[in-house]
Structure 1
Amino acid sequence: MKLKFLLSLCLTIGITHANRINIINNCPFTVWPGILGSPNFETPENGGFQLDAGQSREITTQEQWSGRMWGRTGCDESGHCVTGDCGNKIECAGAGGVPPVTLGEWTFDDPNVPGVDFYDVSLVDGFNLPMRITPTGGNEPNGGGPYDCTSTGCPVNINDNCPGELQQTDGGSVVACKSACEAFNDDVYCCRGEHNQPETCRSSDWPVNYPQMFKDQCPEAYSYAYDDNKSTFTCKRSPSPSYDVTFCP
């Protein structure tokens, strides 16, 4: 009897303190969410599943968890996807998505800042789908400001305005928009080599300021590697925080 009570208590505590992410497909087509835990963290749902138009699905993570999520499009029965492919499989099982992809990123209960969640929508690896992250309950403001426990994302379809040199096409249609790093593999655009510091990698100094194109359309989203101060959002944790992730919000 005592063992059953303790087991029930542990399960209750685990549920109470789990982070909930409700994934919503508001697109008029099927999306295959991909999920990847950061090193030393679990990967929920073994990394992916199918979500038909209009469907939603809730996943949970460890109380302290870091990872990312993206949407894949045009997947076939073998698991190969036109965008966001993770190795020709529906369950990505520890593999990341092939750029260009729109990324949702979280660090729940950051050990460096206990009691605080960090989240963002990133276009650093390019864009394939509109995405929004919204705190939906169990979250509290963390001191005020424009990046304090509010919705963030990229709700517009950047593919419609993607420069020709960044376009990824399939069957004549633009299905994704590459980052400048992905398109040109240049140290300047990739913020690497002698350009691997915020002071030496400013998009305003680039030959073409491609991140500004992303930023103009999605001002809340990360546009390149050193865009932290205008793209990172935080929430103060409560016992059971939850977030909505909406594709095509």
Structure 2
Amino acid sequence: MSFFKILSFSYFILDIFYFSLSFTSINAAKFVLVNNCSYTVWAAAVPGVSKKLEPKETLSFTQDSSSKVKGRIWARTNCAFNGTGNGKCESGDCNGLLDCVSTSEPEAPVTLAEYRLGADEKKDIFYISLVNGFNVPMEFSATGGTSSDCTKRLKCTGDINGRCPTELRDPGGCNHPCTVFETDQFCCLGKTCGATEYSKFFKNLCYNANTYATENVTSECPTGTDYKVVFCPQEPLISTETTFRIINKCPHPVWAASIPGGGRQLDESETWNLNVKSGTIAGRIWGRTNCLFDGDGRGKCETGDCGGLLECEGYGSPPNTLAEFSINQYNSLDFIDMSIIGGFNVPMEFSSDSGDCSRVIQCTADIIGQCPNELQVPGGCNGPCPVFKTQEHCCTSGKCGPTNYSQFFKERCPDVYSYPMDDATSIFTCPAGTNYKVVFCP
């Protein structure tokens, strides 16, 4: 073979080599594990690598993102291994091995980051699972990469270990009820289970994690995204104020009202940016209709009137669709809901507007047009309590259930409070520091 033919063949081999490197790079997902805890953890990744991580240490590995890899990542605590890599961990133990293998099942309690690369039409699916309990706070985030700009983030940082129910407590963390009770109700052995009081405990502290076996809370990114798992992520400083963007998209004026905050007229497409102090309890925002005020801010509204004042100092009169909130309360959470217990006057959306939360509550059905005759009033549809003033509808003794009237509202606005004890399906949480948006006529 001539020199030139040898040279050409060499270039051909090099081209294949560089193409192979390029292909591998494009289809490789990089994972970075960070120990931000004040103590040592023994990171485990299956498939991947396992390693002891001192505080602030990191561990990196790659996975072929085109091969539909299923994996999980977790932290083990209080481990002791001998020179051959055999030993035991208090939580997250994988068959007594330092280097976890593909058949290893982490021993509960353990917080899990789970993923499926290239799972569906060139998409990755990733999520945090508390189905095996909780041992270490965790953040699981997409960090973009050479093939994607996806930057979604999941967090589970609530004080689950400190608030763990007595019957679920374990030296290594907080067990899942399946591990403790081993019943179909908690383990979903028949694959037909749902939320329980225990799963709701986990959910309230880690709202975007899976808390029982058939729950399916996941995030997606394009295949080729890189990821980061942080143990004990540092919590950002919570702002001393929360901003509510109040927007009127109705084809007519709405007189927005807020306690705390006051009120103002919003013409079509106008916005009111309202700042509310962190720690505020029992705030509410609503819209008033068909108002007339004089130069001193005194007058009257057909619905939602608050003592004849433009700048409200007290709650409004029904009927009025309400966005309700308590800011930075239990475990650094905001509690938000929408209520039509006192009736409905304006279609509304109440949603998170920043941060890691993605809550959207809506009530946009034609309630006024379909309102029962006995609840009809000018400008709206009254709740049954303001009309009948009975225990059945007002829950004055603290005990009541749904009625035909509350079911009328609930069928049209499923995520909204329809009677005073309608907590199970109508109250939502976001991390403190989230900002919000209230839209009239979304």
Partner of 1:182: 386
Cα deviation, residue 124, structure 1? 0.9
Pairing 1:5-84 to 2, within 5 Å after superposition: 16-36=239-259, 43-44=260-261, 47-66=262-281, 67-78=283-294, 79-84=299-304
120, 130, 133: which one aligns with 2:347: 130
366, 370, 379: which one aligns with 1:161: 370
- Higher RCO structure (Cα 8 Å, ≥6 apart): 1
Partner of 1:228: 423
Pairing 1:169-248 to 2, within 5 Å after superposition: 169=378, 175-193=379-397, 196-197=398-399, 201-203=400-402, 206=403, 209-237=404-432, 240-248=433-441
**CA distance in structure 2 between the partners assigned to 1:236 and 1:88 by the alignment:** 36
Letter in 2 for 1:28: P
Q: Does the 8 Å CA contact 2:239/2:278 hold for their aligned counterparts?
A: no
Partner of 1:87: 307
**CA distance in structure 2 between the partners assigned to 1:181 and 1:77 by the alignment:** 29
Q: Deviations over 1:58-80 (max 9, x none)?
A: 11011111211110000112431
Which structure 1 residue ranges, 5 or more long, are not aligned?
Answer: 1-13, 37-42, 142-148, 170-174
Matched residue of 2:369: which SS? helix
Runs of 4+ in structure 1 over 3 Å off: 14-17
Q: Does the 8 Å CA contact 2:401/2:419 hold for their aligned counterparts?
A: no
Larger Rg: 2
Cα deviation, residue 231, structure 1? 0.5
Percent identical: 39
Matched residue of 2:343: which SS? coil
Partner of 1:107: 326
What is the aligned-residue RMSD (CA, Å)?
A: 1.7
Cα deviation, residue 33, structure 1? 0.9
Letter in 2 for 1:128: N
**CA distance in structure 2 between the partners assigned to 1:121 and 1:242 by the alignment:** 16
Cα deviation, residue 16, structure 1? 4.3
**CA distance in structure 2 between the partners assigned to 1:131 and 1:236 by the alignment:** 22
**CA distance in structure 2 between the partners assigned to 1:51 and 1:123 by the alignment:** 22
**CA distance in structure 2 between the partners assigned to 1:184 and 1:63 by the alignment:** 37
Matched residue of 2:424: which SS? helix
Q: Deviations over 1:89-140 (max 9, x none)?
A: 1111x21101111110001111xx12111100101111111111111112x3
**CA distance in structure 2 between the partners assigned to 1:102 and 1:62 by the alignment:** 23
Q: Does the 8 Å CA contact 1:20/1:243 hold for their aligned counterparts?
A: yes
Q: Does the 8 Å CA contact 1:120/1:153 hold for their aligned counterparts?
A: no
Q: Does the 8 Å CA contact 1:70/1:84 hold for their aligned counterparts?
A: yes
Q: Does the 8 Å CA contact 2:256/2:285 hold for their aligned counterparts?
A: yes
Letter in 2 for 1:241: T
Which structure 2 residue ranges, 5 or more long, are not aligned?
Answer: 1-236
Q: 1:159 to 1:15 in 2, by over 3 A?
A: same
Letter in 2 for 1:70: W
Matched residue of 1:106: which SS? strand
Letter in 2 for 1:117: D
Q: Deviations over 1:132-176 (max 9, x none)?
A: 1111112x35xxxxxxx410121223101101110002xxxxx11
Q: How many residues align?
A: 201
Letter in 2 for 1:71: G
Q: Does the 8 Å CA contact 1:129/1:157 hold for their aligned counterparts?
A: no
Matched residue of 1:29: which SS? coil
**CA distance in structure 2 between the partners assigned to 1:15 and 1:226 by the alignment:** 31
- TM-score, length of structure 2 as denominator length: 0.44
